[in-house]
Copies of this chain bind each other. A is one copy, B any other.
Amino acid sequence: MARPPRKPADPGPAETPPPGRRHRSRGGMTLSELAQIAGVSPMSASRALNAPALVSPAILAKVQAAVASTGYVANRVAGGLASRRSRLVAAVLPSLAGSVFEPMVQSLFVALAQSDYQLLLGQSGYGVQQDHRFLEALIGRRPDGLVLCGVVPSAEGARQLAAARLPVVETWDMVASPIDMVVGFSHESIARAVAEHLLRHGHRQFAFVGGDHERARRRGKAFASAIQAGGKSRNEPVSIVLETAPTPGTVRGGREALRRILARQPKTSAVFCSSDMLALGMVTEAQARGIAVPGQIAIVGFGDASFSADIRPALTTVRVDSEAIGRKAAHCIVERAEGREVANAVVDVGFSLIVRETA
Interface of A toward B, CB cutoff 8 Å: 23, 25-28, 71, 73-78, 80-81, 84, 86, 88, 95-99, 102-103, 105-106, 109-110, 113, 116, 118-123, 134, 136-142, 159-160, 163-165, 248, 250-252, 255, 277, 280-281, 284, 287-288, 306-307, 309-312
Q: Which residues of B contact A116 (CB under 8 A)?
A: 137
Q: Which residues of B contact A311 (CB under 8 A)?
A: 251, 280, 284
Closest to A121 in B: B119
Report yes or no: B97 in contact with A106, Cβ–Cβ below 8 A.
yes
Report A256 CB to chain B, min CB distance, Å: 9
Whole-angstrom distance between the alpha carbons of A175 and B106 in the complex?
27
Tell me which of A248, A255, A284, A307 has the highest count of chain B C-beta atoms within 10 A of its own C-beta.
A307
Q: Among the listed B25, B73, B309, which residue makes an inter-chain contact with A136, where contact means beta carbons less than 8 Å apart?
A: B73
Report A26 CB to chain B, min CB distance, Å: 5
5 A–B pairs (Cβ distance < 8 Å), ordered by A? A26-B84, A73-B136, A96-B102, A251-B307, A255-B310
Number of copies of this chain that the complex holds? 2
Q: Can you name 10 extra interface pairs (CB under 8 A) apart from A77-B81, A250-B310?
A: A25-B165, A26-B84, A26-B165, A73-B139, A73-B160, A73-B164, A110-B123, A118-B138, A280-B307, A281-B307
Whole-angstrom distance between the alpha carbons of A169 and B109 in the complex?
23
Closest to A281 in B: B310
Q: Which residues of B contact A309 (CB under 8 A)?
A: 252
Whole-angstrom distance between the alpha carbons of A243 and B77 in the complex?
46
Q: Among the listed B120, B123, B281, which residue makes an inter-chain contact with A120, where contact means beta carbons less than 8 Å apart?
A: B120
Q: Which residues of B contact A88 (CB under 8 A)?
A: 141
Q: Which residues of B contact A310 (CB under 8 A)?
A: 250-252, 255, 281, 284
Closest to A80 in B: B77
Q: Among the listed B96, B113, B284, which residue makes an inter-chain contact with A134, where contact means beta carbons less than 8 Å apart?
A: B113
Q: Among the listed B140, B164, B251, B277, which residue makes an inter-chain contact with A74, where contact means beta carbons less than 8 Å apart?
A: B140
Q: Which residues of B contact A27 (CB under 8 A)?
A: 84, 142
Q: Which residues of B contact A136 (CB under 8 A)?
A: 73
Q: Among the listed B76, B141, B312, which residue makes an inter-chain contact with A76, where contact means beta carbons less than 8 Å apart?
A: B141
Whole-angstrom distance between the alpha carbons of A122 and B110 in the complex?
10
Report A46 CB to chain B, min CB distance, Å: 14
Closest to A29 in B: B163
Q: Which residues of B contact A28 (CB under 8 A)?
A: 163-165
Q: Among the listed B96, B118, B140, B251, which residue makes an inter-chain contact with A75, where contact means beta carbons less than 8 Å apart?
A: B140
Whole-angstrom distance between the alpha carbons of A264 and B211 in the complex?
44
Whole-angstrom distance between the alpha carbons of A124 and B287 in the complex?
40
Whole-angstrom distance between the alpha carbons of A167 and B81 in the complex?
24
Q: Which residues of B contact A120 (CB under 8 A)?
A: 118-121
Closest to A134 in B: B113
Q: Which residues of B contact A96 (CB under 8 A)?
A: 102, 105-106, 109
Report yes or no: B84 in contact with A81, Cβ–Cβ below 8 A.
no
Report yes or no: A118 in contact with B137, Cβ–Cβ below 8 A.
yes
Whole-angstrom distance between the alpha carbons of A235 and B313 in the complex?
43
